[in-house]
Amino acid sequence: MPRRGETAVVPIDVASAGGGRGDERPKRERHRSHGPGRHGPHRSRPPPPPPPAFRPFRRWFPFLVPLFIVANIVLFVLTMYVNDCPAHARATGAAIGGSVGESATAQGCWLAPELGRFAFQSFKENPLIGPSSATLLEMGALETSKVTKDHEGWRLITCIWLHAGVVHILANMLSLLMIGIRLEKEFGFIRIGTLYVISGVGGSLLSSLFMVSNISVGASGALFGLLGSMLSELITNWTIYENKFAALLTLVMIILINLAVGILPHVDNFAHLGGFMSGFCLGFVLLMRPQFGYINQKNSPLGFPMGVTKRKFKTYQVILLVISTMILVSGFTIGLVLLFQGFNASEHCSWCHYMSCVPTSKWSCNAPNNYCMSSQLGNQLNLTCESTGKTASYVLSDPNNSEAIKNLCVGLCS
């Protein structure tokens, strides 16, 4: 999206513009310029070097966004290390015993011989090629009950640095690379870092209000916050763009396509919507630009007539900043109060679930929840998955092994 600011602005040379003594050349040079003489043909004077280009806005070196990408990748590797699928599969198999236990040990992990401790959960359990949901919860994934009942509000922040699998982290990090680098170059690491984190928390907040029974991880809310800030930045800095409507149409189409992907199953579109709305409001606050009239006047040479004094910001920019700040503060305050009171927004909105997933004949929107009803008599364990209704019986060699029981429940509900 080209701007007027991307064109170099050259300061006016007052002396050369006015002529006079500054324009006079030495007599010897004027004498040589009359034409060819005994010293050979006329040689033109080399042109003077151009004055240094002046850009109205500073360009930043991007380092924070690459640092975010590295941090997300490192945390994913650490999550897979903690997951240790082969060890958990062996523990489950040993607790069950017999042929069922041997089957659980053999089929519990994917690429175990090649990756060892970093092997992935079975594709049936995690189609995104990653760790188990239990490991994600241990690392800080968002689950509403843990925030409301256990007062673990920090999960609203930690969940945006975790990812459910290789497919998930690749898609998010490529998007962050393409969007974040460009924004950090233009606005600096402080504003973009603040926008990224607050937008991610806004996405987590809306997700925890509507997706009460789901586990949520990922940087999607923060990424949609960056997209929302690009839209509000275009609106508040409208006068400095050249192809205004083309830029607006392109950006709106990109946002609508990404939001449309969110209606697929296993995608938390409420995190996308919450991050987008947070970033859209933050863009009016953090990404507001001074007008070019003010910039040119501020950097005009001494002694050059400046004309009428220009204001730094237009009235509509200030109005949008005030309104957006009020919406942000009130929205986060109300959302946090409702969350810690255990408010379930989906119970008060019968159609809102369609904003996150639209059921079709090809897929179901009922995400599997790894919650089981269990009954145990001695070594005999009976499990019933609440989300699927499946029932299975196991004979445990170690009836007090809670880790094995949890893994059996996850496998039953997958």
Report, as residue numbers or ranges, the catalytic residues.
Answer: 220, 272
β-pairing, 109-110 vs 120-121, is antiparallel
Q: What is the DSSP string of 237-281?
A: TGGGBSSHHHHHHHHHHHHHHHHHHTTSTT--HHHHHHHHHHHHH
70 close to 77: Cβ distance less than 8 angstroms? no
166 close to 129: Cβ distance less than 8 angstroms? yes
266 close to 214: Cβ distance less than 8 angstroms? no
Rounded to the nearest 5 degrees, what angle is found at the Cα of 384, between the Cα atoms of 382 and 387? 165
User: Count H helices, E strands: the chain?
Assistant: 17, 7
Rounded Cα–Cα distance for residues 268 and 194 (Å): 22
Closest by CA to 85, choosing from 46, 118, 55, is 118
Rounded Cα–Cα distance for residues 51 and 300 (Å): 14
Q: Which residues pair with residue 400 across a beta bridge?
A: none
183 close to 222: Cβ distance less than 8 angstroms? no
Q: What is the largest CA-CA distance in the chain?
A: 118
Rounded Cα–Cα distance for residues 200 and 214 (Å): 17
Torsion of CA 328, 330, 333, 336, to 10 degrees: -70
For residue 232, give both structure tokens.
Answer: 């509000």
Question: H/E/C letters for each residue in 76-127?
Answer: HHHHHHHHCHHHHHHHHHHHHCHHHHHHHHHHCEECHHHHHHHCEECCCCCC
337-342 contacts: CB < 8 A, separation 24 or more?
338/209, 339/144, 339/147, 339/148, 339/205, 339/208, 339/209, 340/147, 340/148, 340/151, 340/153, 341/148, 342/148, 342/149
CB count in 10 Å sphere of residue 251: 16
